[in-house]
């Protein structure tokens, strides 16, 4: 793939990330359900990793992690590494074990969100900021609520994939 095509493709993915980011950061936070809002950025990384594979997923994870760590309140640097790893492992799973489909994305999203929330929970437990029960009361609804939004996020990125994804621009 020519460099120009490669840049075009990833600009399209970045463009698709913008409405997901705004939805996640500025719209859904106004309408929390039982005090919970979904985590759409990890779902976005999972969707792109399922569609684009290991390298694409890792790269997109890195960029999205950078956004997550810098543009959100209380952003931690570890988010960059976590989302890169999510992109990489989901890409590998999609390539070797799962189908490139919404079902695959849902399974991977559930796994990725569980991993991220577990990391967060373990950190909170370690620093004794909350009890396990308190963490589960937040993490489980957040996981479910994020999965409800997964089809929409996957749909956005699948549309991009259909137009410019994979090697279509070659």
Partner 1 sequence: MKKFFRENGVLLLIAAVLLSVLITLCGNLFGTKIDPLGNILNTLATPVRGGINAVAGWVEGVYDYIFRYEQMDDELTQLRRRVAQMEDELRQARYESQENKRLRQLLELREKRRDFVFESARISARGSRGWDDTLTLSKGSNCGIAAGDCVISETGVLVGVVSQVGLNWATVDTVLSPNTELGGQTVRTGLAGILSGELDLLQEGLLKLGYLPLDHGLIKGDQVITSGRSGAYPADLVVGTVTETGTDEAGLSGYALIRPAVRLDKLSQVFVIKEFDIVE
Binding footprint of partner 1 on the chain (CB under 8 A): 22, 25-27, 29-30, 32, 34-37, 53-55, 58-59, 61-62, 65-67, 69-81, 83-85, 88, 91-92, 120, 124, 129-130, 134-135, 137-138, 141-142
From the CB of 75, what's the least distance to partner 1, in Å?
A: 7
Report helix, strand and coil shares of the chain as percent, to nearest 5: 80, 0, 20
Nearest distance from residue 7's CB to partner 1, in Å? 17
| Chain centroid to CA 23 | 13
Query: Which of 20, 36 has the CB closer to partner 1?
Result: 36
Cβ closest to partner 1, residue 92 vs residue 169: 92
Nearer to partner 1, 123 or 152 (CB): 123
Please identify, using beta-carbon distances, which residue of 11 and 103 lies nearer to partner 1.
11
Residue burial 83-97, b: 16+ Cβ < 10 Å; e: rest = bbbbbbbbbbbbeee
Shortest distance in whole angstroms from residue 105 CB to partner 1: 19
Instruction: Rank residues 140 and 162 by Cβ distance to partner 1 and give the closer one.
Output: 140
Taking the complex as a whole, the smallest distance from the CB of residue 84 to partner 1 amounts, in Å, to 4
Handedness of CA 132, 32, 141, 101 (dihedral sign): negative
3-state secondary structure 51-101: HHHHHHHHHHHHHHHHHHHHHCCCCCCHHHHHHHHHHHHHHHHHHHCCCCC
């Amino acid at each position: 793939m020519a460099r120009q095509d490669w840049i075009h493709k990833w600009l399209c993915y970045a463009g698709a990330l913008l409405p997901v980011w705004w939805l996640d950061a500025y719209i859904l936070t106004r309408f929390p359900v039982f005090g919970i809002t979904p985590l759409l950025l990890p779902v976005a990384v999972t969707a792109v990793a399922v569609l684009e594979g290991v390298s694409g997923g890792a790269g997109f994870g890195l960029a999205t992690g950078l956004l997550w760590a810098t543009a959100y309140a209380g952003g931690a640097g570890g988010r960059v590494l976590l989302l890169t790893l999510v992109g990489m492992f989901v890409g590998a799973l999609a390539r070797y074990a799962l189908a490139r489909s919404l079902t695959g994305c849902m399974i991977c999203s559930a796994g990725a969100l569980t991993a991220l929330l577990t990391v967060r929970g373990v950190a909170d437990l370690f620093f004794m900021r909350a009890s396990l029960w308190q963490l589960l009361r937040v993490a489980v609804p957040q996981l479910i609520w994020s999965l409800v939004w997964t089809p929409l996020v996957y749909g956005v990125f699948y549309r991009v994939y259909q137009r410019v994804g994979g090697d279509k621009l070659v």
